[in-house]
Amino acid sequence: MDQPIGVIDSGVGGLTVASELMRQLPKEQLIYIGDTFRCPYGPRSKEEVVTYTWEMVNFLLAKDIKMLVVACNTATAFALDQLHSQLDIPVIGVIEPGARAAIKVSQNQRIGVIGTEGTIESKAYPKALKTIHSTIQVNDLACPRFVPMVEEGILSGPEANRVVAESLMPLKMKNHIDTLILGCTHYPLIRDRIQEVIGDHVSIISSGEETAREVSAILGYKEKLFNGDRTPDHQFYTTGRLDVFKRIASNWLEQPIVVENAVLNK
């Protein structure tokens, strides 16, 4: 019960899920790893993403995690089924929670999805949405420039505004959507830019909140929630630059954090 929850992402994006976990489950300890060195995963092949995901998972398994949160849509789209079938701890991805949250909010059943090339090409969101509601209309769009920009720490200002406006143009032309899923965990870091461009009439969904709720429900059901009293000592690892990760993470989580380098092995 006092074991940590493992959280993985290709970089800093999973912090948007980690912050929700910290808010909803304040006594749980997190171990986070971002594979910043090999980020972005979006343009990579399925084989590469699956291999890198397993390397992060093995790193966390060695730290005795009680549950795995795949806080990366691309890794969820490509590796979740395999992780589910091969791990004996609970595993959750971010796509189904995001799809469920969007269906709850949409009034007109027309939902937009933005994500990496890998996530959009996998069609994981349309599949998840149509499984819940077969008549839903989905407009999906890859936004490959967002992740590299966020990883550089460019979250606002003229460049961020321009990249977001240019990237979302095709979706704006089909502006009948009333709900937009941020199908990449990096995107909540530029949520305000996205909202400005897409307009206030569109509800924006990021899967972090719903994912954290489901983590809480799963651990509760399995009687694995930590039920003592503590201020958890979260651990953060990156395969890339410590200074950039630390700056983005401290700002997003609104607390000073300690980050260490991780070396991943096959």
For ligand DGL, the binding residues (CB under 6 A) are 9-11, 13, 39-42, 72-74, 116, 119, 147, 184-186
- 97 vs 224, which CB is nearer to ligand DGL? 97
Minimum CB distance to ligand DGL smaller for 73 or for 139: 73
Q: Which of 7, 124, 160, 184 is catalytic?
A: 184
Q: Do residues 85 and 153 touch, judged by C-beta distance below 8 A?
A: no
Q: Residue 95: name the closest of 117, 108, 77 by CA.
A: 77
Number of H helices, E strands in the chain: 11, 10
Least distance in Å: CB of 75 to ligand DGL?
7
Distance CA 105, CA 182 (A): 14
DSSP structural state of residue 198: H
Please tell me which residue in 5, 49, 60, 72 is annotated as part of the active site: 72
Pairwise CA distance, residues 22 & 20, whole Å: 5
When the beta carbons of 147 and 224 are compared against ligand DGL, the nearer one is: 147
Q: CA 72, CA 94: separation in Å to the nearest integer? A: 7
Choice between 7 and 224, CB closer to ligand DGL: 7
Indicate the residue among 12 and 177 with the shorter CB distance to ligand DGL: 12
> What are the CA-CA distances from residue 66 to residues 62, 115, 179, 209, 225 (Å)?
11, 29, 34, 20, 10
Beta strand pairing call for 91-92 and 67-70: parallel
In the complex, least distance from residue 152 CB atom to ligand DGL, rounded to whole angstroms: 13
Between 124 and 259, name the residue whose CB sits nearer to ligand DGL. Answer: 124
Least Cβ distance, residue 258 to ligand DGL (angstroms): 22
> What backbone torsions phi and psi does residue 237 show, to the nearest 5 degrees?
-130, 145
d(CA 129, CA 101): 10
Sequence letter at residue 58: N
**Secondary structure element (H or E) that encloses residue 49, with its range:** helix 46-61
Question: Least Å distance between CB 140 and ligand DGL?
Answer: 13
C-beta atoms surrounding 134 within 10 Å? 7
Tell me if residue 143 is catalytic.
Answer: no
Both structure tokens of 40: 């972005």
User: Catalytic residues, which ones?
Assistant: 72, 184
